[in-house]
Amino acid sequence: MIAERIAENLYILDTGMFGLDRYDGLYILKAPRVALIETGLSHTVERALEALDELGIRREDVAYLMPTHVHLDHAGGTGHLAEACPNAKVVVHEQGAPHVIDPARLLESVQRAVGPLFPFYGTLQPTPAERVLPVRGGEVFDLGDGYAIEVIAAPGHAPHHVCFFERKERALFTGDAAGIYRPGGGGLLPTTPPPAFHLEQALETLARLKALRPRLLLYTHWGAQTDIELLDRYAHLLQDWVGEIERAKKTLQDDQAVTEYFVQKKTPLLEGHYPEPLLRGEIEMNVQGILLYLKKVRGIT
């Protein structure tokens, strides 16, 4: 079976993004009303449909497609999956909803943010507006059999980011709000892309996520963890990461020089987790997200 079982009725599918194992995933909750949390990449849709077939899930029974935000490694499969699953509604933050309906501007912005890595991100097909349910946090979707998913506003990584909290399992789908946690000893990694990473919002979100007292943290990148202290550890990691870049900015001034400094240094935080040439792109993206935050929020230019 291509999807892996995580708990009763709960599965994760590896999208194989970047050609990496266990880097990007989507979750399938096989309740009476089936929910997919994240939709993967546009080029992994066939694999997602195959996983549904293997799990004995009829496409008509998929009730909700729930991307945590509209970055393409989380929402890229939305349009194709909405087409394949005729009854599915797309649950997405109200600021992300217009991009799901008309992705043109989003695709331009992704290309700017990820540069040479763009081909890895695939595309996003439009979803008809009547299939989209915009949310902002606080909404609850009843899936039947005791399963219910609450929408948790989770700005920081992006202003339009939400997390999903499944109440029966106390399972928190973290999206990118709690960072990247790759199994196999990799540990926590930052995910701080442009154009709208915001440190204080990210920290406030992490505190609220912890207050939910989840039993399972379900990382999109990648898989289930039970230690909720990981939320605190990510808060510290973000503060250190921003501090490190702020110091480099004070010394080197020029943004390009700061980015190049972290690329040359192969910041230990990211080295070893991404093969070349992905490593350069990942470092550039994560550093540039912080530089933009320092400029826009703290006025450091």
Measured between alpha carbons, how far is 49 from 65 in angstroms, rounded to an integer? 13
The dihedral built from the CA positions of residue 83, 84, 86 and 90, taken in this order, carries a sign that is negative
Among 73, 166, 169, 284, binds Zn ion (CB under 5 A): 73
Part in contact with Zn ion (CB under 5 A); list of ranges 10-18, 39-47, 72-80, 121-129:
72-80
Which is nearer to Zn ion, 176 or 282 (by Cβ)?
Answer: 176
Which is nearer to Zn ion, 75 or 258 (by Cβ)?
Answer: 75
Which is nearer to Zn ion, 190 or 214 (by Cβ)?
Answer: 190
Minimum distance between the CB of residue 38 and Zn ion, rounded to whole angstroms?
Answer: 9
Minimum distance between the CB of residue 74 and Zn ion, rounded to whole angstroms?
Answer: 5
Residue 14 found at the interface with Zn ion (CB under 5 A): no
Distances (CA, A) of 293 to 76, 99, 138, 198, 204: 25, 22, 27, 6, 16
Which is nearer to Zn ion, 73 or 282 (by Cβ)?
Answer: 73
> Taking CB under 5 A as the rule, which mask of x and - marks residues 170-189 in contact with Zn ion?
------x-------------
Three-state secondary-structure class, residue 279? helix
Which is nearer to Zn ion, 175 or 214 (by Cβ)?
Answer: 175
Measured between alpha carbons, how far is 225 from 7 in angstroms, rounded to an integer? 12
Q: Cα-flanking dihedrals φ and ψ of residue 131, to 5°? A: -95, -5
Measured between alpha carbons, how far is 93 from 87 in angstroms, rounded to an integer? 19
Q: Give helix 104-114 / helix 278-298 axis angle, nearest 10°.
A: 110
Minimum distance between the CB of residue 221 and Zn ion, rounded to whole angstroms?
Answer: 6
Secondary structure element (H or E) that encloses residue 36, with its range: strand 34-37
Could you tell me how many residues of this chain bind Zn ion (CB under 5 A)?
2
| Residues lying near Zn ion in the complex (CB under 5 A) | 73, 176
